Amino acid sequence: MAVNPVRKFGPVPLENFSNGVKALLVLSDGTVFEGKNFGAEGKTIGEVVFNTSMTGYQEILTDPSYKGQIVAMTYPQIGNYGVNAEDIESLGGPKVEGFIVKEYLDFPSNWRAMRGSLSDYLKEYQIVGIEGVDTRALTRHLRDTGSQMGIISAKDLNPQSLLEKVRKHPGIVGIDLVKEVTTKEAYPWNEGCWKWHPDSQLPTPNSQLKRVIVYDFGVKLSILRNLVDAGFDVYVVPAKTPAEEVLDMNPDGILLSNGPGDPEPVTYAIKNTKKLIGKKPIFGICLGHQILGLAMGGRTYKLKFGHHGGNHPVMDLKTNEVEITSQNHNFCVEVASLKGQVELTHKNLYDGTEEGMRHVELPILSVQYHPEAGPGPNDATYLFKRFRELIEKTHG
């Protein structure tokens, strides 16, 4: 393949640059970025996206919605507060394919940093990272050209060889990534959100817990914790659990969780959701929102470079209040394709994309963003209360 790189970016000169070995990031359009390896050695391929959050890199790394993707952080200094055992969003370690930063700090300073450095954490779970990358140039490039597949390598440093490898990769569109992150066994969950004082508890909206079944398409643990704080008895089931089995459990409501990738290949989830519509109140988050849209006969479309970050302003069209939200998705529901079945409830003020919907007749609501995350910090947690109120209104 005689294709020359479009452009080559050298490493960013940093005084406290690590002594790691040289590494390359090569995008599918031939653009090459030089840097140094941290975390695990080797190579990794994924869809390269940028995240605009200033903090929360551990939550981002462990968010199952990032399966199949290499994440570039736009905030320049990453690793300065280390990692800990509490700020994880899934069990079993990071779910990202790779990690890109401008400046990695190998000497964390935080009283909660109990697991050592970020690099050690990535090595433990075999996640390849690259530092010293001009992440501003990378972000501008992805904004102009769109998200694209890329490869990070700390061993093979031949750009042409790496370009051939990344172009042979099938990509993540049309691939079911949910099956790689969903739980294998059903389980109950009863842990609430982290409190500064362990003895302090949020008041339960009602002394009687409402039972909710959570379809795990890649659920974040913060969603489960917020459900507990909202007064729910939470039970999590695998993504392929038949709708009939869920209905036999007679829950008060059903939550369709977040998850990675393209919603259309997750045909079993769409099929099961069709059977659940009209039977129980349903709340969809992120991928769950998209699954709902497809189950009701609508369409989804892929964004140019996705929404990834903790600073997206979204307007609640019911109250006209603006909330700062955390987002992580590449696909959106085309609400107009649902032909009047739902009303638009939330709108992204950056690009006008649809961020939420509510069925005009049935007890169904969903949002594209992450109400469990806290960039506001609690701007969107009211949605869990709204879901409970929807259940109470339906069942009394």
pLDDT tens for residues 252-278?
999 999 999 999 999 999 999 999 999
Q: Which of 25, 131, 33 is nearest to 77 (CA)?
A: 131
Number of compact structural domains in the chain: 2
pTM equals 0.93
Whether residues 191 and 94 share a domain: the answer is no
Catalytic one of 141, 289, 308, 370: 370
Cβ 394 vs Cβ 359: under 8 Å:
no
Residue with the larger pLDDT of the pair 18 and 23: 23
Is residue 116 helix, strand or coil?
A: coil
Question: Range of 186's domain?
Answer: 178-395
At 50, the pLDDT band (50, 70, 90 cuts) reads: very high
Is residue 165 helix, strand or coil?
A: helix
Whether residues 164 and 183 share a domain: the answer is no
- Domain's final residue, options 168, 191, 212: 168
Catalytic one of 59, 89, 354, 372: 372
Domain-embedded: residue 57:
yes
Whether residues 128 and 13 share a domain: the answer is yes
- Domain's final residue, options 140, 168, 196: 168
Domain-embedded: residue 2:
no
- End-to-end Cα spacing for the chain: 66
Whether residues 85 and 203 share a domain: the answer is no
Which amino acid, 90?
Answer: S
Domain-embedded: residue 73:
yes
Q: Which of 178, 125, 175 is nearest to 149 (CA)?
A: 175
Whether residues 65 and 88 share a domain: the answer is yes
- Residue 349, domain CATH: 3.40.50.880
Is 312 assigned a catalytic role? no
Phi and psi, residue 149, nearest 5°: -70, 150
C-alpha 210/C-alpha 385 separation (Å) is 12
Question: Would you say residue 212 has pLDDT above 60?
Answer: yes
- Residue 143, domain CATH: 3.50.30.20
Average the pLDDT over 366-373 and give the result: 95
Domain-embedded: residue 3:
no
Whether residues 238 and 146 share a domain: the answer is no
Is 169 assigned a catalytic role? no
Whether residues 82 and 159 share a domain: the answer is yes
Whether residues 161 and 196 share a domain: the answer is no
Is 359 assigned a catalytic role? no
How confident is the model over 145-196, as pLDDT tens digits? Answer: 999 999 999 999 999 999 999 999 999 999 999 999 999 999 999 999 877 6
Whether residues 22 and 62 share a domain: the answer is yes
C-alpha 62/C-alpha 96 separation (Å) is 7
Question: Would you say residue 205 has pLDDT above 80?
Answer: no
User: How much of the chain, in percent, has pLDDT values that exceed 90?
Assistant: 85
Whether residues 252 and 305 share a domain: the answer is yes
Domain-embedded: residue 173:
no
Sign of CA dihedral 46, 47, 50, 56: negative
Catalytic one of 59, 89, 286, 312: 286
Domain-embedded: residue 298:
yes
Question: Would you say residue 11 has pLDDT above 90?
Answer: no
Whether residues 188 and 46 share a domain: the answer is no
- Domain's final residue, options 135, 168, 201: 168
